Amino acid sequence: SSMVDAKEKHKDILNVAHRGASGYAPEHTITSYKMGERMHGDYIEVDLQMTKDGALIAMHDETLDRTTNGTGLVKDHTLEEIKELDAGSWFNEQYPEHAKAKYEGLQVPTLKEVFEAFGKNANYYIETKSPEVYPGMEQKLLDEVNEYGINKDKLLVQSFSSESLLKMNKLDPTVNLVQLLEYTTPAKLSDAEVQSIKQYAMGIGPNSDMIDREYVQKVVQNGLEIHPYTVNEKEEMQKLIDWGVTGIFTNFPDLLHEVKKGK
């Protein structure tokens, strides 16, 4: 029945722990990723930046300033320098209601450390950030995925840059890709855009606040996955699920888990 279909659909919604459980712990730390897993996140979301000496690290911004006690561009610092930084204390200051002493002094993880901590068979949802700033980022990512024997059936690579995704697709067509999109006005997707994205990606990730039911249904009817970002309130999660999204990026994976359970 349609009731059963609706419930089945509910269960399949991918719960993407955005920067880990970043509502509760400092984003892009192993602690935050572990918390995401414990809170029933299906995927660990990792944003990539590259150091001066070519190491891939998990960080959202191109600069160190917001999420560490360092300053300046990631690309102007070596991994050794970045490893000395405190990637947790800022969170305690910014979010005293979620502060914990154990967050002080947490390190910026490398992608390799993330792979070591969670293993080959974890679900990684990895974003190539500012790929134009970091030539060779896609090859480096692929090399590390291969080196660690990461299960590619469980890997998703995402980017706002279609060039970066096309590069990944050329390097290894077996890697599943998601095209991120950012709308500043009500979202529309033409048939031509859908067809062009379908050439290389299995889904899209639009910002959640400019899409509507019609948009979601068009995407789904065209056989693409749709994972809106970043949704932190239960009512909005429920609305998006009702519209037919197939996954959601959230800083609060526990809340999405509750919505999926009907709580």
Q: Is 254 in the site for Ca ion (CB under 5 A)?
A: no
Residue 229 contact among Ca ion, ligand G3P, none, beta carbon within 5 to 8 Å by kind: ligand G3P
249 binds, among ligand G3P, Ca ion, none (CB under 5 to 8 A by kind): ligand G3P
Q: Binds 28, which of Ca ion, ligand G3P, none (CB < 5 to 8 A, cut-off by type)?
A: none
Least gap, CB of 47 to Ca ion (angstroms): 5
Helices (H), 151-227: 162-171, 191-198, 213-221
Residue 124 is a binding residue for ligand G3P (CB under 6 A): no
Dist CA 79 CA 55 (whole Å): 7
Told to check if 15 binds ligand G3P by CB under 6 A, we report no
115-144 positions binding Ca ion, by CB under 5 A: 127
Number of H-type helices and E-type strands within the chain: 11, 9
Quote the CA–CA distance of 128 and 126 in Å, as a whole number.
Answer: 7
Q: How far apart are CA 85 and CA 98, in angstroms?
A: 21
159 is written with which tokens? 């980017």
182, burial (CB in 10 Å: exposed 0-12, middle 13-18, buried 19+): exposed
Question: Site map for ligand G3P, 188-217, x if CB under 6 A?
Answer: -----------------x------------
Chain positions contacting ligand G3P, by CB under 6 A: 18, 47, 60, 127, 158, 180, 205, 229-230, 249
